[in-house]
C-alpha cells in the first residue's frame, strides 16, 4: 500500500498548522502601500537660530504616503481645496505670512478632491503624500513648510 500525502492525522495537523501560521504571518506584515503614521511631535528634530529643522522621520517619509490625526482649522473660504491640520482645535486659521513664522504644530492639507469641512473640535485622520520644504501657493500666497498632498480625511 502506498502512502499518500497527508495520509496520517499528524501530517494533516502539521499541514493545517503551517497554513494557519503562514496566514497569520501575512496578515501581520504591513502592506507596502499602507501609509505610515506621523504625529505632530515627530515633525521637527530641533529649533535652531535658523528656525525649525525637520526630524529624520519626516526626511525619510518625504514623498511617501502618511496618515496624521489632528483638527481642521477653519478654512479661509468655503470652496477651498486645502485646509490647515492642527494639533489642537483652533477657532481661527493660523495663516502665516512667511515660513519664518510657521508654527511647529500645523500642516497644510491639499485635498485630492473637494470634501465637506468639519467643525474645528472634531478630530480627523488625514492620509496623503507628505511634502516638506518652503513653498508658496501661487493661488493664495499661503506659505508652508509641510504639506500633505493628494489627501483625503475622515472623522476619528
Residue 11: phi and psi, rounded to 5, are -60, -45
Element (H, E) at 61: helix 56-61
Give the pLDDT of residue 8. Answer: 56
Arithmetic mean of pLDDT over the chain: 78
Domain total of the chain: 1
Residue 2 located in a structural domain: no
d(CA 145, CA 120): 22
CATH of residue 121's domain is: 2.40.50.870
Supply the pLDDT for residue 142: 83
The DSSP line for 50-90 is: TEEEE-HHHHHHTTSEEEEEEEEPPPSSTT-SEEEEESS--
**Tens-digit pLDDT profile for residues 108-135:** 999 988 777 888 899 999 999 999 999 9
Is residue 140 assigned to a domain?
yes
Residue 4 is predicted with a pLDDT of: 53
Domain for residue 18, yes or no? no
Let me know if 13 is exposed, middle or buried by CB neighbors in 10 A (0-12, 13-18, 19+).
exposed
Instruction: List pLDDT tens digits, range 85-95.
Output: 999 888 655 55
The answer as to whether 136 is a domain residue is: yes
Would you call 99 helix, strand, or coil by DSSP? helix
Q: DSSP code of 27? A: H
Indicate whether 89 belongs to any domain: yes
Domain that holds residue 143: 37-155
pLDDT of residue 20: 43
Query: Is there a domain that residue 13 lies in?
Result: no
Assess contact for 143 and 118: CB atoms under 8 A. no
pLDDT at residue 32, rounded to an integer: 40
pTM higher than 0.85 for the full model?
no
Q: Does the residue 19 lie in any domain?
A: no
Residue 8 lies in a domain: no
pLDDT band at 7 (very low <50, low <70, confident <90, very high): low
Amino acid at each position: 500500500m502506498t502512502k499518500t500525502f497527508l495520509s496520517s492525522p499528524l501530517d494533516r495537523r502539521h499541514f493545517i498548522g503551517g497554513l494557519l501560521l503562514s496566514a497569520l504571518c501575512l496578515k501581520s506584515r504591513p502592506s507596502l502601500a499602507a501609509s505610515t503614521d506621523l504625529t505632530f511631535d515627530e515633525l521637527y528634530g530641533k529649533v535652531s537660530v535658523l528656525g525649525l529643522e525637520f526630524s529624520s522621520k519626516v526626511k525619510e517619509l518625504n514623498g511617501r504616503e502618511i496618515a496624521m490625526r489632528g483638527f481642521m482649522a477653519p478654512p479661509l473660504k468655503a470652496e477651498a481645496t486645502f485646509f490647515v491640520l492642527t494639533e489642537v482645535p483652533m477657532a481661527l486659521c493660523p495663516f502665516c505670512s512667511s515660513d519664518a513664522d510657521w508654527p511647529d504644530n500645523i500642516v497644510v492639507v491639499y485635498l485630492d478632491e473637494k470634501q465637506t469641512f468639519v467643525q474645528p473640535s472634531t478630530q480627523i485622520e488625514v492620509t496623503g503624500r507628505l511634502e516638506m520644504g518652503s513653498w508658496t501657493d501661487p493661488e493664495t500666497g499661503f506659505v508652508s513648510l509641510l504639506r500633505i498632498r493628494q489627501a483625503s480625511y475622515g472623522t476619528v
